[in-house]
Amino acid sequence: MQPNIAVVGSGLIGRAWAIVFARAGFPVRLYDIDSGALDYARDRIAEALGDLARYGLIEDSDVILGRIRTVSDLAEALDDVAYVQECAPETVDAKRSVFAELDRAAADDVILASSSSGIVASDFIGHLQHPERCLIAHPVNPPYLIPLVELCPAPVTDPSVTERARSLLLEAGQVPVMVRGELRGFILNRIQGAVLNESLRLYEDGYVTVADIDDTLRHGLGLRWSFMGPFETIDLNAPGGLKEYADRYGPLYEALSHEQADPRPWSRETIERLHAERRSALPEKELEQRQSWRDKRLMALIAHKTAAAKDSGS
Ligand code: NAI
Protein backbone atom coordinates (compact mmCIF):
# COMPACT_ATOMS: atom_id res chain seq x y z
CA MET A 1 0.00 0.00 0.00
CA GLN A 2 1.44 3.39 -1.03
CA PRO A 3 1.87 6.02 1.71
CA ASN A 4 -0.18 9.23 1.75
CA ILE A 5 1.30 12.33 0.13
CA ALA A 6 0.41 15.96 0.82
CA VAL A 7 0.85 18.59 -1.87
CA VAL A 8 0.81 22.10 -0.37
CA GLY A 9 -0.14 24.86 -2.81
CA SER A 10 -2.50 23.97 -5.67
CA GLY A 11 -1.22 26.35 -8.38
CA LEU A 12 0.39 25.35 -11.65
CA ILE A 13 3.01 23.07 -10.07
CA GLY A 14 1.02 21.76 -7.11
CA ARG A 15 -1.78 20.41 -9.25
CA ALA A 16 0.73 18.82 -11.64
CA TRP A 17 2.50 17.10 -8.70
CA ALA A 18 -0.89 15.78 -7.53
CA ILE A 19 -1.21 14.03 -10.92
CA VAL A 20 2.32 12.57 -10.65
CA PHE A 21 1.69 10.95 -7.27
CA ALA A 22 -1.90 9.86 -7.92
CA ARG A 23 -0.95 8.33 -11.29
CA ALA A 24 1.63 6.17 -9.45
CA GLY A 25 -1.00 4.97 -6.96
CA PHE A 26 -0.30 7.30 -3.99
CA PRO A 27 -3.31 8.76 -2.16
CA VAL A 28 -2.88 12.56 -2.42
CA ARG A 29 -4.18 15.41 -0.27
CA LEU A 30 -4.01 18.67 -2.18
CA TYR A 31 -4.07 21.70 0.14
CA ASP A 32 -4.12 25.44 -0.57
CA ILE A 33 -4.40 28.43 1.73
CA ASP A 34 -6.94 29.81 -0.76
CA SER A 35 -9.75 27.27 -0.69
CA GLY A 36 -11.23 28.83 -3.84
CA ALA A 37 -8.08 27.76 -5.71
CA LEU A 38 -8.85 24.09 -4.96
CA ASP A 39 -11.99 23.89 -7.13
CA TYR A 40 -10.11 25.46 -10.03
CA ALA A 41 -7.22 23.01 -9.47
CA ARG A 42 -9.57 20.03 -9.51
CA ASP A 43 -11.07 21.13 -12.85
CA ARG A 44 -7.61 21.65 -14.40
CA ILE A 45 -6.47 18.22 -13.09
CA ALA A 46 -9.53 16.51 -14.58
CA GLU A 47 -8.82 18.23 -17.91
CA ALA A 48 -5.13 17.18 -17.90
CA LEU A 49 -6.07 13.58 -17.03
CA GLY A 50 -8.52 13.55 -19.95
CA ASP A 51 -5.72 14.64 -22.31
CA LEU A 52 -3.30 12.04 -20.87
CA ALA A 53 -5.90 9.32 -21.48
CA ARG A 54 -6.48 10.52 -25.07
CA TYR A 55 -2.73 10.22 -25.75
CA GLY A 56 -2.67 6.69 -24.31
CA LEU A 57 -0.42 7.77 -21.42
CA ILE A 58 -2.81 6.65 -18.65
CA GLU A 59 -5.58 4.09 -18.54
CA ASP A 60 -8.28 5.21 -16.14
CA SER A 61 -8.48 8.93 -15.44
CA ASP A 62 -11.37 8.51 -12.96
CA VAL A 63 -9.36 6.13 -10.77
CA ILE A 64 -6.44 8.61 -10.71
CA LEU A 65 -8.73 11.56 -9.99
CA GLY A 66 -10.33 9.51 -7.20
CA ARG A 67 -6.96 9.30 -5.43
CA ILE A 68 -6.74 13.11 -5.15
CA ARG A 69 -8.59 14.71 -2.24
CA THR A 70 -8.69 18.51 -2.07
CA VAL A 71 -8.41 19.66 1.55
CA SER A 72 -8.78 23.18 2.95
CA ASP A 73 -7.45 22.32 6.41
CA LEU A 74 -3.69 21.93 6.77
CA ALA A 75 -3.79 19.56 9.78
CA GLU A 76 -6.15 17.28 7.87
CA ALA A 77 -3.90 17.41 4.80
CA LEU A 78 -0.85 16.40 6.86
CA ASP A 79 -2.47 13.67 8.92
CA ASP A 80 -0.68 10.33 8.39
CA VAL A 81 1.41 11.43 5.38
CA ALA A 82 4.95 10.24 4.63
CA TYR A 83 5.97 13.08 2.32
CA VAL A 84 4.98 16.69 1.67
CA GLN A 85 5.65 18.43 -1.65
CA GLU A 86 5.54 22.19 -0.98
CA CYS A 87 4.43 24.34 -3.94
CA ALA A 88 3.94 27.83 -2.46
CA PRO A 89 5.13 31.04 -4.19
CA GLU A 90 8.84 31.50 -4.96
CA THR A 91 9.90 34.03 -2.31
CA VAL A 92 12.09 33.45 0.74
CA ASP A 93 9.35 34.91 2.99
CA ALA A 94 6.64 32.62 1.62
CA LYS A 95 8.88 29.54 1.88
CA ARG A 96 9.94 30.48 5.44
CA SER A 97 6.39 30.85 6.68
CA VAL A 98 5.03 27.76 4.89
CA PHE A 99 7.90 25.62 6.18
CA ALA A 100 7.35 26.93 9.73
CA GLU A 101 3.70 25.83 9.50
CA LEU A 102 4.60 22.46 8.00
CA ASP A 103 7.31 21.80 10.60
CA ARG A 104 4.85 22.54 13.41
CA ALA A 105 1.97 20.54 11.98
CA ALA A 106 3.61 17.44 10.44
CA ALA A 107 4.86 14.45 12.45
CA ASP A 108 8.64 14.55 13.05
CA ASP A 109 9.57 11.90 10.49
CA VAL A 110 7.58 13.37 7.57
CA ILE A 111 9.79 14.50 4.68
CA LEU A 112 9.27 18.16 3.70
CA ALA A 113 10.34 18.73 0.08
CA SER A 114 10.18 22.13 -1.61
CA SER A 115 9.50 22.72 -5.32
CA SER A 116 11.69 25.86 -5.14
CA SER A 117 13.02 26.84 -8.57
CA GLY A 118 16.19 28.45 -7.33
CA ILE A 119 16.09 29.39 -3.63
CA VAL A 120 18.24 26.96 -1.62
CA ALA A 121 16.73 25.24 1.43
CA SER A 122 19.18 26.79 3.94
CA ASP A 123 17.60 30.18 3.15
CA PHE A 124 14.27 29.12 4.68
CA ILE A 125 14.69 26.17 7.07
CA GLY A 126 17.22 27.54 9.62
CA HIS A 127 14.46 28.51 12.10
CA LEU A 128 12.73 25.11 12.12
CA GLN A 129 12.74 22.54 14.88
CA HIS A 130 13.43 19.70 12.41
CA PRO A 131 15.35 21.13 9.46
CA GLU A 132 17.03 17.73 8.94
CA ARG A 133 13.86 16.40 7.23
CA CYS A 134 13.82 19.19 4.61
CA LEU A 135 15.28 19.35 1.11
CA ILE A 136 14.57 20.71 -2.37
CA ALA A 137 12.82 18.52 -4.95
CA HIS A 138 12.68 20.89 -7.93
CA PRO A 139 10.43 19.71 -10.78
CA VAL A 140 10.12 20.85 -14.38
CA ASN A 141 6.75 22.12 -15.57
CA PRO A 142 4.61 20.04 -15.90
CA PRO A 143 6.18 17.23 -13.83
CA TYR A 144 3.62 14.64 -15.03
CA LEU A 145 5.08 15.06 -18.53
CA ILE A 146 8.70 16.00 -17.80
CA PRO A 147 10.07 13.53 -15.26
CA LEU A 148 13.28 15.24 -14.10
CA VAL A 149 13.44 16.24 -10.41
CA GLU A 150 16.50 17.93 -8.92
CA LEU A 151 17.20 16.88 -5.35
CA CYS A 152 19.23 19.46 -3.46
CA PRO A 153 19.64 18.76 0.26
CA ALA A 154 20.89 21.44 2.68
CA PRO A 155 24.06 20.70 4.68
CA VAL A 156 21.74 20.02 7.63
CA THR A 157 19.55 17.50 5.73
CA ASP A 158 19.83 13.93 7.02
CA PRO A 159 21.24 11.78 4.16
CA SER A 160 18.64 9.10 4.91
CA VAL A 161 15.91 11.69 4.19
CA THR A 162 17.45 12.41 0.79
CA GLU A 163 17.62 8.69 0.07
CA ARG A 164 13.98 8.14 1.12
CA ALA A 165 12.86 11.09 -1.04
CA ARG A 166 14.83 9.70 -3.97
CA SER A 167 13.25 6.23 -3.74
CA LEU A 168 9.77 7.68 -3.33
CA LEU A 169 10.18 9.90 -6.40
CA LEU A 170 11.53 6.97 -8.41
CA GLU A 171 8.46 4.99 -7.37
CA ALA A 172 6.34 7.93 -8.50
CA GLY A 173 7.88 7.55 -11.98
CA GLN A 174 10.18 10.60 -11.84
CA VAL A 175 13.89 10.80 -12.71
CA PRO A 176 15.72 12.28 -9.71
CA VAL A 177 19.18 13.81 -10.14
CA MET A 178 21.37 14.90 -7.23
CA VAL A 179 22.76 18.40 -6.86
CA ARG A 180 26.01 17.84 -4.97
CA GLY A 181 26.21 20.91 -2.76
CA GLU A 182 23.78 23.78 -2.21
CA LEU A 183 23.73 25.95 -5.31
CA ARG A 184 21.31 28.73 -6.26
CA GLY A 185 19.32 27.78 -9.38
CA PHE A 186 20.43 24.14 -8.98
CA ILE A 187 21.53 22.59 -12.32
CA LEU A 188 18.63 22.95 -14.74
CA ASN A 189 17.95 26.64 -14.18
CA ARG A 190 21.67 27.45 -14.30
CA ILE A 191 21.81 25.85 -17.75
CA GLN A 192 18.51 27.45 -18.77
CA GLY A 193 19.84 30.76 -17.38
CA ALA A 194 22.98 30.51 -19.54
CA VAL A 195 20.82 29.92 -22.65
CA LEU A 196 18.41 32.75 -21.74
CA ASN A 197 21.16 35.24 -20.88
CA GLU A 198 22.98 34.57 -24.14
CA SER A 199 19.73 34.68 -26.17
CA LEU A 200 18.87 38.03 -24.62
CA ARG A 201 22.36 39.37 -25.32
CA LEU A 202 22.26 38.29 -28.99
CA TYR A 203 18.80 39.81 -29.42
CA GLU A 204 19.70 43.05 -27.62
CA ASP A 205 22.83 43.47 -29.75
CA GLY A 206 20.77 43.06 -32.93
CA TYR A 207 22.27 39.77 -34.13
CA VAL A 208 19.02 37.82 -34.26
CA THR A 209 15.24 38.13 -34.11
CA VAL A 210 13.05 36.53 -31.45
CA ALA A 211 11.61 34.09 -33.98
CA ASP A 212 15.06 33.05 -35.23
CA ILE A 213 16.34 32.40 -31.69
CA ASP A 214 13.31 30.19 -31.06
CA ASP A 215 13.91 28.40 -34.40
CA THR A 216 17.58 27.83 -33.49
CA LEU A 217 16.45 25.79 -30.50
CA ARG A 218 13.29 24.29 -31.99
CA HIS A 219 14.77 23.16 -35.30
CA GLY A 220 18.38 22.86 -34.10
CA LEU A 221 19.69 22.13 -30.63
CA GLY A 222 16.35 21.15 -29.12
CA LEU A 223 15.78 18.23 -31.49
CA ARG A 224 18.80 16.39 -30.09
CA TRP A 225 18.27 17.62 -26.55
CA SER A 226 15.00 15.74 -26.24
CA PHE A 227 16.93 12.46 -26.10
CA MET A 228 20.59 13.24 -25.33
CA GLY A 229 22.59 15.74 -23.29
CA PRO A 230 25.42 18.11 -24.30
CA PHE A 231 28.25 15.74 -23.40
CA GLU A 232 26.83 12.82 -25.38
CA THR A 233 26.13 15.28 -28.22
CA ILE A 234 29.75 16.36 -28.54
CA ASP A 235 30.98 12.79 -28.05
CA LEU A 236 29.12 11.89 -31.25
CA ASN A 237 30.18 15.00 -33.19
CA ALA A 238 33.84 14.17 -33.85
CA PRO A 239 35.37 10.97 -35.26
CA GLY A 240 37.37 10.21 -32.11
CA GLY A 241 34.64 11.21 -29.68
CA LEU A 242 34.60 13.86 -26.98
CA LYS A 243 38.38 14.30 -26.74
CA GLU A 244 38.78 15.01 -30.43
CA TYR A 245 35.79 17.37 -30.32
CA ALA A 246 37.50 19.27 -27.48
CA ASP A 247 40.76 19.48 -29.50
CA ARG A 248 38.91 20.84 -32.53
CA TYR A 249 36.36 23.17 -30.93
CA GLY A 250 37.50 23.73 -27.32
CA PRO A 251 39.46 26.93 -28.21
CA LEU A 252 36.36 28.39 -29.91
CA TYR A 253 34.16 27.76 -26.87
CA GLU A 254 36.83 29.14 -24.57
CA ALA A 255 37.05 32.35 -26.65
CA LEU A 256 33.25 32.64 -26.57
CA SER A 257 33.17 32.21 -22.79
CA HIS A 258 35.25 35.41 -22.43
CA GLU A 259 32.79 37.33 -24.62
CA GLN A 260 29.89 35.96 -22.56
CA ALA A 261 31.46 36.68 -19.18
CA ASP A 262 30.29 40.23 -18.44
CA PRO A 263 27.04 40.20 -16.44
CA ARG A 264 24.26 42.21 -18.03
CA PRO A 265 20.94 43.21 -16.44
CA TRP A 266 17.69 42.15 -18.12
CA SER A 267 16.99 45.72 -19.22
CA ARG A 268 13.40 46.92 -18.99
CA GLU A 269 13.61 48.29 -22.52
CA THR A 270 14.77 44.98 -24.04
CA ILE A 271 12.10 43.07 -22.13
CA GLU A 272 9.41 45.51 -23.37
CA ARG A 273 10.54 44.98 -26.97
CA LEU A 274 10.71 41.21 -26.56
CA HIS A 275 7.31 41.14 -24.93
CA ALA A 276 5.80 43.23 -27.73
CA GLU A 277 7.21 40.83 -30.35
CA ARG A 278 5.87 37.81 -28.50
CA ARG A 279 2.43 39.42 -28.07
CA SER A 280 2.21 40.17 -31.77
CA ALA A 281 3.05 36.50 -32.46
CA LEU A 282 0.71 35.27 -29.70
CA PRO A 283 -1.97 37.60 -28.28
CA GLU A 284 -2.29 37.46 -24.49
CA LYS A 285 -5.78 35.95 -24.64
CA GLU A 286 -4.34 32.93 -26.48
CA LEU A 287 -1.64 32.14 -23.89
CA GLU A 288 -3.68 29.49 -22.06
CA GLN A 289 -4.68 27.80 -25.30
CA ARG A 290 -1.03 27.71 -26.37
CA GLN A 291 0.00 26.21 -22.99
CA SER A 292 -2.47 23.44 -23.63
CA TRP A 293 -1.03 23.01 -27.15
CA ARG A 294 2.48 22.75 -25.59
CA ASP A 295 1.32 20.05 -23.18
CA LYS A 296 -0.26 18.08 -26.03
CA ARG A 297 2.96 18.31 -28.07
CA LEU A 298 4.81 16.98 -25.01
CA MET A 299 2.30 14.14 -24.66
CA ALA A 300 2.77 13.17 -28.31
CA LEU A 301 6.56 13.32 -27.85
CA ILE A 302 6.41 11.11 -24.75
CA ALA A 303 4.15 8.61 -26.52
CA HIS A 304 6.73 8.55 -29.35
CA LYS A 305 9.70 8.20 -26.97
CA THR A 306 8.00 5.38 -25.07
CA ALA A 307 7.30 3.48 -28.30
CA ALA A 308 10.85 4.14 -29.60
CA ALA A 309 12.37 2.91 -26.31
CA LYS A 310 10.32 -0.30 -26.57
CA ASP A 311 11.46 -0.83 -30.19
CA SER A 312 15.14 -0.26 -29.50
CA GLY A 313 15.11 -1.84 -26.04
CA SER A 314 16.79 1.25 -24.58
P1 NAI B 1 1.38 29.50 -8.41
O2 NAI B 1 1.35 30.95 -8.13
O3 NAI B 1 0.70 28.97 -9.63
O4 NAI B 1 0.75 28.71 -7.14
C5 NAI B 1 1.08 29.00 -5.80
C6 NAI B 1 -0.08 28.49 -4.93
O7 NAI B 1 0.34 28.52 -3.56
C8 NAI B 1 -1.33 29.38 -5.02
O9 NAI B 1 -2.47 28.57 -5.32
C10 NAI B 1 -1.46 29.99 -3.63
O11 NAI B 1 -2.81 30.19 -3.21
C12 NAI B 1 -0.76 28.93 -2.78
N13 NAI B 1 -0.25 29.41 -1.49
C14 NAI B 1 0.27 30.61 -1.18
N15 NAI B 1 0.64 30.62 0.13
C16 NAI B 1 0.34 29.39 0.64
C17 NAI B 1 0.46 28.79 1.92
N18 NAI B 1 0.96 29.48 2.96
N19 NAI B 1 0.03 27.51 2.09
C20 NAI B 1 -0.50 26.85 1.05
N21 NAI B 1 -0.64 27.35 -0.21
C22 NAI B 1 -0.23 28.62 -0.40
O23 NAI B 1 2.92 29.09 -8.39
P24 NAI B 1 3.62 27.84 -9.12
O25 NAI B 1 4.05 28.22 -10.49
O26 NAI B 1 2.78 26.62 -8.93
O27 NAI B 1 4.96 27.71 -8.24
C28 NAI B 1 5.00 27.01 -7.00
C29 NAI B 1 6.46 26.64 -6.70
O30 NAI B 1 6.91 25.73 -7.72
C31 NAI B 1 7.43 27.83 -6.70
O32 NAI B 1 8.43 27.62 -5.74
C33 NAI B 1 8.00 27.76 -8.11
O34 NAI B 1 9.27 28.37 -8.23
C35 NAI B 1 8.11 26.27 -8.28
N36 NAI B 1 8.22 25.84 -9.68
C37 NAI B 1 7.46 26.46 -10.66
C38 NAI B 1 7.62 26.08 -12.00
C39 NAI B 1 6.80 26.74 -13.07
O40 NAI B 1 7.13 26.55 -14.24
N41 NAI B 1 5.75 27.48 -12.74
C42 NAI B 1 8.57 25.01 -12.39
C43 NAI B 1 9.26 24.38 -11.27
C44 NAI B 1 9.09 24.81 -9.97
Q: Could you read off the pLDDT of 99-129 as tens digits, one per residue? A: 999 999 999 999 999 999 999 999 999 999 9
Measured distance CA(102)–CA(85) in Å, rounded: 11
Say whether pLDDT at 314 is over 80: no
**What is the fold of 4-178?**
Rossmann fold (3.40.50)
CA distance readout (Å), 308 to 173, 194, 201, 296: 18, 31, 37, 18
Residue ranges matching CATH 1.10.1040.10 in the chain: 189-281
In sequence order, the β-bridge partners of residue 135 are 113, 153
Residue 8's nearest CA partner among 93, 92, 127, 103 is 103
CA of 209 to the centre of ligand 1 (A): 32
Secondary structure of residue 137 in the 3-state scheme: strand
Q: Of residues 284 and 310, which shows the higher confidence score?
A: 284
What pLDDT sits at residue 127? 94
- Look up the pTM and report it: 0.93
What pLDDT sits at residue 306? 87
Per this entry, what is the length of the chain?
Answer: 314
What pLDDT sits at residue 1? 84
In sequence order, the β-bridge partners of residue 3 are none
Residue nearest to atom 17 of ligand 1 (CA): 33
User: Read out DSSP for 201-240?
Assistant: HHHHTTS--HHHHHHHIIIIIHHHHTT--HHHHHHTSSTT
How many Cβ atoms sit within 10 Å of the Cβ of residue 111?
A: 22
Q: Could you read off the pLDDT of 26-78 as tens digits, one per residue? A: 999 999 999 899 999 999 999 999 999 999 999 999 999 999 999 999 999 99
Measured distance CA(26)–CA(130) in Å, rounded: 25
Strand order from edge to edge, sheet including 28-31: 68-71, 28-31, 4-8, 81-86, 111-114, 134-139, 148-153, 175-178
Q: Could you read off the pLDDT of 292-310 as tens digits, one per residue? A: 999 999 999 999 988 888 8
Measured distance CA(116)–CA(176) in Å, rounded: 15
What pLDDT sits at residue 60? 93
Q: Could you read off the pLDDT of 140-165 as tens digits, one per residue? A: 999 999 999 999 999 999 999 999 99
Phi first, then psi: what are they for 261, rounded to 5°?
Answer: -80, -25
Name the superfamily (CATH) of residues 189-281.
N-(1-d-carboxylethyl)-l-norvaline Dehydrogenase; domain 2 (1.10.1040.10)
Q: Which residues line ligand 1 (CB under 6 A)?
A: 8-14, 32-34, 37, 87-90, 94, 98, 115-117, 138-139, 141
Measured distance CA(123)–CA(120) in Å, rounded: 6
Amino acid at residue number 153: P
Residue ranges matching CATH 3.40.50.720 in the chain: 4-178
Query: Is residue 9 left, alpha or beta, with left meaning phi > 0 and alpha meaning psi from -120 to 50?
Result: left
Radius of gyration of the chain (CA): 21
CA of 116 to the centre of ligand 1 (A): 9
Q: Could you read off the pLDDT of 219-234 as tens digits, one per residue? A: 999 999 999 999 999 9
Residue nearest to atom 15 of ligand 1 (CA): 88
What pLDDT sits at residue 313? 62
Mean pLDDT value across the chain: 96
Atom of ligand 1 nearest to the CA of 14: 26
Q: Could you read off the pLDDT of 2-38 as tens digits, one per residue? A: 999 999 999 999 999 999 999 999 999 999 999 899 9
